[in-house]
């Protein structure tokens, strides 16, 4: 699993604290670069599993958990258990869940509806959630996801 990234995002004069995570090569870093610099940056794999134990130290004051899903590789969409575990944490009891279904520009990708069913999102009752189709390389769909956070 990729590294957990935390950030503060200014949008509409409102400050949001969020946690971002996803599987390797799902597009986490590319999306964060799109948010901060509006450009695509080629990256190598980030740290990953070694940070998993320390994730909960980032939860305080988090308003939204952002999960980046690689829509092409179904075998990499195994984040479900991690998401449910995170959302059960006391510090995240009021946090929303935004899922970016990345790589929607690829004709082999799963649709948002397929990802919705695969992740069993209807079982999340205590948190507001939204799934947003996107393409990290072009930035398409990213602003809509941020608007939902607001």
- Residue ranges for the known binding site are 22-29, 46, 102-105
d(CA 4, CA 52): 8
CA 47 to each of CA 1, 10, 106, 117, 147: distance values in angstroms, whole numbers, following the listed order: 9, 26, 26, 29, 29
Residues that constitute the known binding site for Mg(2+): 29, 46
d(CA 101, CA 140): 11
CA-based torsion, 17, 45, 120, 84: positive or negative:
negative
Residues that constitute the known binding site for GTP: 22-29, 102-105
On whether the CB atoms of residues 128 and 96 are closer than 8 A, the answer is yes
């Amino acid at each position: 699993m990729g590294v957990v990234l935390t950030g503060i995002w200014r949008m509409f004069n409102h400050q949001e604290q969020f946690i971002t995570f996803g599987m390797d090569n799902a597009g986490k870093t590319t999306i964060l670069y799109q948010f901060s610099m509006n450009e695509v940056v080629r990256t190598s794999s980030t740290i990953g599993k070694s940070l998993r134990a320390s994730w909960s130290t980032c939860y305080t004051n988090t308003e939204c958990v952002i999960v980046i899903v690689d829509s092409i590789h179904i075998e990499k969409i195994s984040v479900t258990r991690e998401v449910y575990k995170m959302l059960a944490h006391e510090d995240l009891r009021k946090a929303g869940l935004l899922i970016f279904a990345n790589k929607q520009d690829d004709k082999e990708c799963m649709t948002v509806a397929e990802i919705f069913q695969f992740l069993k999102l209807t079982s999340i009752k205590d948190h507001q959630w939204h799934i947003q189709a996107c393409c990290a390389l072009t930035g398409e769909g990213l602003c809509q996801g941020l608007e939902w956070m607001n």
